[in-house]
Structure 1
């Protein structure tokens, strides 16, 4: 009898030993399968994970074969990849909570439907009134009550008669939903609300140019960044359609905001109010670099004379992502207005100074 219990005990012990081993093997197989699937997916995107691993470990490969800016929208994170294998998106807390609480799962489902609808809306990139901002008479009147800062930013000698038949300036956004928020705890970098993203800044620049300087503007607010890594290919299509329709513009601005965490580095006090600094981003291997850069040099020179401290800096990449579309025109530039950490009022407050620099460049030489 004792022998029987001893055998049973030994079998139970073996089972206890085997269970963790079996579980480990199962988990290992799942992780391996997911990883292979993930790498297969990235292979379709150009093996960017492999490229970035090689770049990090073998600088010579990076130096000979790739510019760092080629990967500007495809940064590889080992932490994110491991979490992705486990089905966790650390940038989406609702995704984590919804696995445990049914209400959030339902909420997630509704948000997914909304995202699908957004994608459907922007897939064709047809030019039309729905994506174009036009300065209304009401908005014109809104700017009449100019404060002291506005008066000091404005130069009435640069004003001409507005001619809307031939737009002179095109403003668009490759990353249309880039949001401004002082909430450092917030995980949301984007917003479809035009009152708190870069579109608000574009609206204000357009209003300033048309009302104060007689410069006709198209402000396109097509959403290009629902799939972030395709942002520039999508905005390139939008820009190409405008160029086909109107010919070249006197100035084309891809308007962004940065994501640095130091507010003091992107904010300046001009005429008694805090406004965001602006930064220019250029691509030197772009075939139109010399002419595009001449525009930037003009604006920087005027800013240093008129509004010291307003220019944050200028960054020159070699290629960037698709040349940041600057290879499509002699007059294309990219401007970063402040950063995520700025108040929306600080970003829109900078618009009158940006508009003045544009007017100095366009109307000052006429």
Structure 2
């Protein structure tokens, strides 16, 4: 009798455990499903790469036959990242785990640690796609630098350094363009062609600030990420080639983006009483011009750390990225992210005068 009773208890226990496990699994599935939809919407992704990763995890052959290096480089969504964000952990910033578990640290807003993010998205294939030859850009669409004198710095902020001003250069020294032209900022939707609010607004503000220092700048606003998002770099490479053919090399070529970090504290600084979106560089190690490119980046980071500590978040490294992020076209090419979609357009435009100061120090003699 006792044996039967014990068996009934064991059977009930197994059934109860199975029901609980099923219920927990179902709840987790619903949470992940909603999180994935929200993640895709918040970050303005052109496709939901969370589901792509789920398929690749369960059916590896799909990854080989259906998706290429560029798809994965353009859309940094992973199962691990989504699970971590559900728990409130940022896997790109391990300090966030400590920050979450030790409430006392919340007295000080987390602003990130270190200058270099020691993570690398490896795309270990030398099969780099060709440029998008279907993307035509006639010479008439190449922007010409404006003629005239160095713009007046009257009313400039305390960030501005008059000692760095020189006569406006005769030829353009800096080129600013946007591979992901539609990247936008809070409180607007994540992607838009409205160039008064998206990354183009930041690029235009940076151009204006640079020319106050006498650094003639071209700001190209050609849209490269419409329709086929994963061809963005192939298209922007066509644009870059046009400028290189027209002007030769530039002293600095900036592909200006914004990040997709969700923690605003980690991507925002406060200087001179105003919120400023932080900057980060994204570079490709296998790019043949990597060493030369990094000389520019390291110089800008060193100046930033000296003048505006905490403004630069350092470097995020890829091996190949997507078409080397066009950094193989010039020894002076770099990719810069200004803020994230959680920053406002104004906060990101506020960064322009700080970035311009770094560049002026770098190009015009690094005077104090």
Give me the TM-score of the superposition, normalised by structure 1.
0.64
**Alpha-carbon spacing, 1:365–1:49, altered in 2? closer, same or farther (3 Å):** closer
Q: Does 1:158 align with 2:158?
A: no
Picking from 134, 141, 144, the partner of 2:154 is 144
**Alpha-carbon spacing, 1:294–1:51, altered in 2? closer, same or farther (3 Å):** same
Deviations 1:144-166 (A, max 9, x none): 333xxx22x111111110024x1
Picking from 166, 170, 176, the partner of 2:175 is 170
Residue in 2 aligned with 1:353? 354
Q: CA deviation at 1:255?
A: 0.2
**Alpha-carbon spacing, 1:191–1:333, altered in 2? closer, same or farther (3 Å):** same
Picking from 160, 180, 185, the partner of 2:185 is 180
Q: Does 1:319 align with 2:320?
A: yes
Write 1 or 2 for the structure with the bigger share of helix: 1
Q: CA deviation at 1:260?
A: 1.5
SS at 1:316's partner residue?
strand
Residue in 2 aligned with 1:89? none
| RMSD between aligned residues | 3.4
8 A contact 1:173–1:222 mirrored in 2: yes
SS at 2:176's partner residue?
strand
Where structure 1 has 5 or more consecutive residues not aligned to the other structure, the ranges are 1-47, 79-121
Residue in 2 aligned with 1:224? 224
Deviations 1:180-218 (A, max 9, x none): 1136xxxx321111110001111011111112x100111
8 A contact 1:268–1:277 mirrored in 2: yes
**Alpha-carbon spacing, 1:76–1:242, altered in 2? closer, same or farther (3 Å):** same
**Alpha-carbon spacing, 1:259–1:330, altered in 2? closer, same or farther (3 Å):** same
SS at 1:350's partner residue?
helix
Residue in 2 aligned with 1:192? 193
Residue in 2 aligned with 1:12? none
8 A contact 2:145–2:216 mirrored in 1: no
**Alpha-carbon spacing, 1:53–1:344, altered in 2? closer, same or farther (3 Å):** closer
The residue correspondences of 1:26-105 to structure 2 (distance < 5 A) are: 56=57, 71-73=72-74
8 A contact 1:258–1:339 mirrored in 2: yes
In structure 2, C-alpha distance between the alignment counterparts of 1:228 and 1:182, rounded to whole Å = 23
Residue in 1 aligned with 2:255? 254
Residue in 2 aligned with 1:84? none
Runs of 4+ aligned structure 1 residues displaced above 4 Å come to 48-55, 66-70, 74-78, 133-137
